[in-house]
Amino acid sequence: MNILIIHAHNESLSFNTAMKNLAVEELQAQGHCVGVSDLYAMNWNPVASAADFGSRANADYLTYALEQRHNHSQQTLAADIQEELDKLLKADLVIFNFPIYWFSMPAIMKGWIDRVLISGVCYGGKRFYDQGGLAGKKAMLAITIGGQPHMLVKDGVHGELNDMLKPVLRGTLAYTGMAVLPTFVAHHVPYISQEARAILLEQYRQHLRSLDTLQTLTFVSLNHFDEKLHPLSATNI
């Protein structure tokens, strides 16, 4: 497989970066072709703006998604966007490697999503969920978080982890058509021993060795909706 790791951590000696490094090592050892977009090292620009476009469909009013479509067709997207888009379209599996910030991802990674998952290619019109532009690809989150496992369950203080991650799991990865693999979570990382960190890294290695057998998460299918996206009755599904 061609595997792309999108990595967002601002410390090269962090445990999160160690996870990224282990993934590169392990996946290459499995025979995969692995590429990395290290967003902080790249000094990635997370700000979606008119500067992303070398031409304009409407020079007077910026509708970002429409300009994405226009500039893709004209081959006038900003060079950094085009380079990342090319990597994405080549990939069979995309791993998003990041620490949880405020129940979400670092802003630099959100900016990668905003600028690279372009309308007209990754989504647009009724091109979403199982009919999304990235259908046929797989995606997975590999995250670090300060909380402990008992805090991130249904009755835990923070609620279920997948509820916290819904904007990216459903609203981004599944929405663009990718099959979403179970998230690998390294809990309580800032507060645990080196021995405990070593155990987590070995658990991540085993997770990566199970990529072909992991059951993908279940999301909505457009086959269950009519042309106006009203739900079909159970008898019509």
> Residue 128 in contact with residue 176, Cβ under 8 Å?
yes
Task: Provide the mean pLDDT of the chain.
Answer: 95
> Residue 130 in contact with residue 221, Cβ under 8 Å?
yes
Q: Which two tokens stand for residue 123?
A: 């989504």
pLDDT at 63: 98
pTM of the model: 0.95
With cut-offs at 50, 70 and 90, classify the pLDDT of residue 233.
Answer: confident
On the question of pLDDT at 236 being above 80, the answer is no
| R_g of the chain computed on alpha carbons | 19
Neighbours of 232 (CB within 10 A): 11
On the question of pLDDT at 237 being above 80, the answer is no
- Dump pLDDT digits (tens) for 220-229: 999 999 999 9
**Once rounded to an integer, what is the mean pLDDT over residues 162-187?**
97
Domain residues of the chain, as ranges? 2-236
- Dump pLDDT digits (tens) for 79-130: 999 999 999 999 999 999 999 999 999 999 999 999 999 999 999 988 999 9
- Dump pLDDT digits (tens) for 180-226: 999 999 999 999 999 999 999 999 999 999 999 999 999 999 999 99
**Once rounded to an integer, what is the mean pLDDT over residues 43-57?**
98
Length of the chain: 237
Pick the CATH number of 2-236 from 1.10.3720.10, 3.40.50.360, 3.30.930.10, 3.40.50.720: 3.40.50.360
